[in-house]
A = this chain, B = another copy of it.
Amino acid sequence: MSESETVEISGHLMDHGILSRVLDDIREYSGDYTIDRFDVGRETDDTSHAVITVTADDDEGLQRLLMRLQTRGVNMVHPGEAEVAATVTDGVFPDGFYSTTNLETRVRVDGRWLNVGNPEMDCGLILERDPHGTPSRVYTLPMSDVRAGMLVVCGAAGVQVSIPKPDRTAGSFGFMESDVSSEKPQAVLVRQVANGMREAKAAGKKVLWVGGPGVVHTGAAPAMVAMVDAGFVDVLFAGNALATHDIEASLYGTSLGVDLAMGSGVEHGHEHHIRALNTIRKEGSIRAAVESGVLTGGIMHALVTHDKEFVLVGSVRDDGPLPDVHTDVLEGQRAMRAHLTDVGFCLMVATMLHSVATGNILPASIPLVCVDINPATVTKLADRGSSQARGIVTDVGLFLEQLAVELVPEYRRS
């Protein structure tokens, strides 16, 4: 016997292909559908509205399909009340837990809607009640952080999401196309990213950068330093590699053996690399190395000097690592989450690992641009659920150079 539910979705369903994907999802989850109503916007800018009855083989299948559809912004017409179950074991959700999206979410408990403050995909929803038993808060929590006794939302009932409204003001960042391409007029894209950052700053928000070592290898460190100095880098998420290569370049004028002054490269200047790590470990931290005068230039130096934040999270291929690196990846994820507050724009440059990691925890409402010479990085990010990601396939070094020229008038390559 099959189970059904009536769902609805509003927005620019046609021109962004959203409804197609919704129907694809239903088929992929072995469900079936009937479109009950479809009010399509008559004019170009009108929103559409669809009401669909979805059917699955059993209730478990239906619940999972409903959760899947919520990643597209599809809600139940009659959401009802959220069901919760208590966690039995640390780090394990109850069966049938609601798996979150990165969309703005609210949950109905005891007849009241509670907003989820920190939307993040692939988490559980934890319900807190005050001493009187009144629901006081619902928040996302990753699986590894859940503790026995916590109340976790199960099934799709009582949960609603809303998709961000695309900004359609002419010339604004909202107009950037979503497809990945290496055949685009790059100068225009540079300007759009610059505008996105300026808008975030004007709104009192922070600009988050996520970077890989390619930032240093491509000779873009001076450009990035200029942007740190000018206030366009509030937080940096990176790994051991970016920071070490940046520091190595400052200490020895090389980065993994690439001679930045002459443009000639070597295979693997491991000796400089490992010695730079030892030097900073001796100082105790990057900040200590700046304060003791050992580290006098580069990106990390600029961040420390301007009291900007950075979160370095390690990986299994790291040498060293630097003393500032979180070697436990769960600790690292927690540190990254703690720095997402007030972020209004995110730029990812030359790193697949940290871009995906950041995409995993970033709300869909934060504009996100990913720049890489490798199209796969950009594609992967979108495929993982960061549907707001805009990809630019280009050379990272020249892109940052141009971005610095755009953002920092006094920046000129000498």
Task: State whether B413 touches A187 (Cβ < 8 A).
Answer: yes
Interface residues of A in 64-101 (CB under 8 A from B): 64, 67-68, 71, 89, 91-93, 95, 97, 99
Evaluate whether A282 and B122 lie within 8 angstroms (CB atoms) in the complex, with A177-B264, A320-B143, A399-B395 already known: no
Q: Mark A388-402, 1 if CB is under 8 A from B, else 0.
A: 000001110111011
**Neighbouring B residues of A64 by C-beta, 8 Å:** 271, 275
**A357 at the B interface (CB under 8 A):** yes
- A260 to chain B: closest residue by CB: B185
Q: Mark A18-43, 1 if CB is under 8 A from B, else 0.
A: 01110111111000111110101111
Q: Which of B34, B188, B256, B268 touches A263 (beta carbons < 8 Å)?
A: B188
Evaluate whether A257 and B395 lie within 8 angstroms (CB atoms) in the complex, with A144-B321, A268-B385, A316-B333 already known: no
**A121 at the B interface (CB under 8 A):** yes
**A305 at the B interface (CB under 8 A):** no
Stretch at the interface among A107-115, A226-234, A296-304, A322-330: A322-330
Task: State whether B175 touches A398 (Cβ < 8 A).
Answer: no
Stretch at the interface among A127-135, A196-204, A214-222: A214-222
Evaluate whether A275 and B99 lie within 8 angstroms (CB atoms) in the complex, with A23-B14, A257-B28 already known: yes
Task: State whether A143 touches B277 (Cβ < 8 A).
Answer: yes
Task: State whether A183 touches B217 (Cβ < 8 A).
Answer: yes
Stretch at the interface among A2-10, A341-349, A372-380: A372-380
Task: State whether B320 touches A189 (Cβ < 8 A).
Answer: no
Cα(A373)–Cα(B384), bound, Å: 20
Cα(A262)–Cα(B402), bound, Å: 17
**A319 at the B interface (CB under 8 A):** yes
Evaluate whether A393 and B373 lie within 8 angstroms (CB atoms) in the complex, with A217-B184, A219-B185, A267-B383 already known: yes
- A350 to chain B: closest residue by CB: B183
- A35 to chain B: closest residue by CB: B40
Task: State whether B99 touches A274 (Cβ < 8 A).
Answer: yes
Number of interface residues of A (CB under 8 A): 121
Evaluate whether A183 and B214 lie within 8 angstroms (CB atoms) in the complex, with A92-B282, A143-B281 already known: yes
Task: State whether B397 touches A185 (Cβ < 8 A).
Answer: yes
**A169 at the B interface (CB under 8 A):** no
Interface residues of A in 308-325 (CB under 8 A from B): 313-321, 323
* Chain multiplicity (copies): 4
Cα(A262)–Cα(B26), bound, Å: 16
Which 4 A-B residue pairings sit nearest by Cβ, starting from the closest? Answer: A185-B219, A188-B263, A398-B398, A395-B395
Q: A95-B278, A373-B373 are in contact. List 15 more A-B contacts (CB 8 A).
A: A14-B19, A15-B24, A28-B264, A91-B281, A179-B265, A184-B258, A184-B263, A186-B218, A187-B397, A188-B261, A315-B316, A316-B332, A373-B395, A393-B395, A395-B395
User: Which residues of A are in contact with B by a Cβ distance under 8 Å?
Assistant: 14-17, 19-21, 23-28, 32-36, 38, 40-44, 64, 67-68, 71, 89, 91-93, 95, 97, 99, 121-122, 142-144, 175-177, 179, 181-189, 192, 214, 217-219, 239, 256-271, 273-275, 277-278, 281-282, 313-321, 323, 327-330, 332-333, 336, 353-354, 356-357, 360, 373-376, 382-385, 393-395, 397-399, 401-402, 413
25 contacts between A and B (CB under 8 A): A15-B23, A28-B264, A28-B266, A32-B43, A32-B44, A34-B43, A143-B277, A143-B319, A177-B263, A182-B214, A182-B395, A184-B218, A185-B217, A186-B401, A188-B262, A239-B316, A268-B384, A315-B329, A316-B357, A318-B329, A319-B360, A393-B395, A395-B398, A398-B398, A401-B402
